[in-house]
Structure 1
């Protein structure tokens, strides 16, 4: 159609989206499952054998997401009655399903509330604190830091810190920046909201899903295989971006996170090895 032939007075109607009728090809369905399982690997969580069989059914188009949900809930209800529930598998199975559902959902609003709601949706089946900001301060020993920890936000500052980061991101003018400058800004924003660590658990998975949906809402072509294969590298890169130890001459660096995002958004082929992120200075006597 010629641009001059467009009728600007024509009124289009809103259409209701029936999520269950949206059809994805086998490759896309399998990729979304792989991403979901990969992100759970951040916490060393593995799916149950039964869930793997359900995934095959979904990929082949024989079961919908809703049918998967009913089947896996019935499976764990029976397991619970026999006191045979493996909590790590339960978490991996349920959260993987929720991640896939959110990846298939194209809707998105840029807001701290969305981050909170994503956490609530992902962990609704496993955590009673799903969607709630933590009410205490936390540390976490990191292998790459020789069991030292990143300094996370004070729990009393979570809402203010998120509001600040989101306002700063909204002010950034992507239109007048090169792709490299855009990528550096995305890296900074991702690092900042992760460092806040707003929730008791599940921060990396929540951040990853939020950023994935944010990037897609801006029209970026995302190479999803990176999250599938390198979710632990993603987390360790976030650790390196938020850790300093001046006494040991160790300084926070976005270098590794930029490599990840260059692979994600620019289709670069950086080799992403977790061992490269080990802070050697912290292991010296």
Structure 2
């Protein structure tokens, strides 16, 4: 008996106590999150994931197989989805977490380490502010943070989170949690994969807070999740559109097993931007997806 083992129980690897349900959860979230960027994993990855879920292979073994599969040039169209999906499953299984600004680039570095560094820049911050047109905004973009503000903004939001003491995540607490997640997402510091990085961060954070995260919302409604983040951070005073975090709160309520709300993307559409495309704020109105009402 060791000095730390007065009760007679030995320390064991956490993976020795993984249930089949837990293994299924890791891969369901990993596969579902690829839909955030319109990606889909290959049938090959689904097969090796099924082997892992059934306990026939370890997660390390599936990783070796997936990376070897792509090193041989197979399923090029699914390269990003397969490799990032594998890394998401690994992170969810390991559950590393620290409530510090450095955690975000560490997650990004881990997720995108197998891809072209000149394109994905794993763990590196962008040097130029970008825009991204959104369907629900008729082609307008959220006003993402400028690179000069990345570190200050991350330090600020993490300091705010560190000062909190969450309980059962009742409605007000969950709203505060969602506000922080949306703010971190709006900083958008990475070249690619910001939404997947923030989603994994939030799942690890909720696990640290003692909550079981359902795979169903990410598995089947990943696109709604991204659109909810857009609505939580889009502001356009002339159009009468202001940040609305209620959609994101609804998503996270379902994520932690409360309620069974339906997810309809149409409720996220900002109609004033379609009724008057001239109101687009962060891109030229000529770039509206529907320009039929432009004078």
Structure 1 residue 25: Cα displacement: 2.6
Partner of 2:112: 123
Partner of 1:103: 92
Q: 1:36 aligned to 2:25?
A: no
| Separation (CA, whole Å) in 2 of partners of 1:184 and 1:226 | 17
| Separation (CA, whole Å) in 2 of partners of 1:103 and 1:51 | 17
Partner of 1:217: 208
Change in CA separation of 1:153 and 1:127 when aligned onto 2, cut-off 3 Å:
farther
| Separation (CA, whole Å) in 2 of partners of 1:73 and 1:54 | 12
Partner of 1:3: none
Q: Is the 8 Å Cα contact of residues 223 and 267 (structure 1) preserved in structure 2?
A: no
Q: Residue 102 of structure 2 aligns to a residue in which SS?
A: helix
Partner of 1:179: 170
Moved more, 190-199 or 249-258: 249-258
RMSD between aligned alpha carbons? 2.1
Q: Is the 8 Å Cα contact of residues 28 and 215 (structure 2) preserved in structure 1?
A: no
Q: Is the 8 Å Cα contact of residues 174 and 249 (structure 2) preserved in structure 1?
A: yes
String of CA shifts for 1:199-229, please: whole Å, max 9, x gaps: 1110111101111111111112333322212
Q: 1:166 aligned to 2:158?
A: yes
Q: 1:193 aligned to 2:184?
A: yes
Partner of 1:4: none
| Separation (CA, whole Å) in 1 of partners of 2:107 and 2:80 | 16
Change in CA separation of 1:100 and 1:178 when aligned onto 2, cut-off 3 Å:
closer
Structure 1 residue 266: Cα displacement: 5.1
| Separation (CA, whole Å) in 2 of partners of 1:127 and 1:181 | 42
Structure 1 residue 97: Cα displacement: 0.6
* TM-score (norm. length: structure 2): 0.85
Q: 1:52 aligned to 2:46?
A: yes
Change in CA separation of 1:173 and 1:50 when aligned onto 2, cut-off 3 Å:
closer
**Please, which runs of 5 or more residues in structure 2 have no aligned partner?**
276-292
Q: 1:67 aligned to 2:61?
A: yes
- Number of residue pairs the alignment of both structures matches: 269
Q: Give the alignment partner of residue 229 of structure 1, picking from 220, 226, 237.
A: 220
Partner of 2:145: 153
